Chain A
Amino acid sequence: MVDTDSYQIVAYCCEHCAYGAADLAGGLRLQYPPEVKIVLIPCTGKIDTLMVLHAFEAGIDGVMVAGCLPGDCHYLEGNENANRRIERIKNLLEQIGLEPERVNMYNLSSAMAGEFTVIVEETTNKIISIGKNPLLEERLR
């Protein structure tokens, strides 16, 4: 169940880069906002419109997708395909009535632990400035 008090952000992280960066950030004892919950994915090319929509339907406030640097995808172009899909999801969210800025895509390598914490902080601040997901029933009431 989604915690209705604090902000909830899902970070879909590619196992070949962002997930490694998050792991390294942990090893280096770097701090990042606890609102972000990491979900390991094999490649950002795995990102599916439906899984992002279902996250919002369940009341998640924001989604960040973190994939490899351009040209460095383990599967050649999964990150670039994901980028296009994110644009479509943003468009869908707008039609639905949610802010498209609730979804963001980033690119980084597994060595970029510091950058990972900056990205997470940036995303969290952005989502907090937009506000909570109005779809969560408790909030609608």
Chain B
Amino acid sequence: MTAVILSLVVGWGVFLSQTSSQTSSQGLVVYCAHDAVYSEAVLRRFEQQTGIPVTIRFDTEATKSLSLVRMLLDEKDHPRCDVFWNNEQLGTMELQRAGALLAYKGSGFARIPAPFKDPEGHWVGFAARFRVQMINTNCEPPPEFGELPEGPLDRVAIAKPLFGTTLTHYVCLWQEFGPETLKAWQRHALEQKLHLVPGNGRVMSLVADGICDYGWTDTDDFHVALDDGKPVRMLPVRVRGKTIAIPNTVAIIRGTRRLSGAQKLIDFLLSEETELALARSKARQVPLGLVTAALPADVDRMLPWLKTATDLAPLFEFREPCLRWLESENLP
């Protein structure tokens, strides 16, 4: 038993010494809601270029994680995080409203067009994905659908709209069509057996495998299916003619003790190099700033959609009432 306890003590000694070197006074703590499979390589490149160690707390898919936005709000008075890399915009705006973010206008801020950043610099968007209608090309006849489709929906899937980009999608519908129309459609959709599934990844799988004819998801999930050789195509979701582009957003947390490193990371993430890397990743995220190098064909195809993208900032005021309604619905 003594040997076992000694081994554990030595193990903890090694672990704690490694951890303390990572979270030294210069090391940055980054909360990252973007998928680790794409974002970790970017953050490691920053480490290599600057020599600043980065400790990352990742968000997890669907229900398996308490949201990082919620965690940052809870930690507001005693922040541990220096930089927040969110994979959408409205949650970051909630942090801004709570006074949890610090304004910074560095070199990256200037690169990004006005609709995708806070004018005061509390947060800046980069590398967007789009909400899309993903269609299985084997399904016959090809489905016809509008923004709020009618008829049988038992072969149609959407993620539970309580989180992430699907929530943004619903808030957009709420704003454009009004609450009553959306509520009526939701009732109809559930009566018509619309599949509400835990996440966008599952929507992608249902459509890719032909279990559903089509579904609403994001471009990064669509491209996973496409790379797998699945029979799928996509159309951008258009609400009153406008596409829904959801950028990553990045912000410095108020109270950071590593301001200089945090600013360097913000500039790095908003750089052309990072946007290009994310465009060339399997997620094919669309750069918001000017990129001079050649982009992959899939990304080129999506670039025009940016011109008709909905301005997400005005949606923020509708998010809370929409979310309250969705919660009261007790979705299955």
Tell whether A pairs with B: no
**Which positions in B face A, CB cutoff 8 Å?**
none
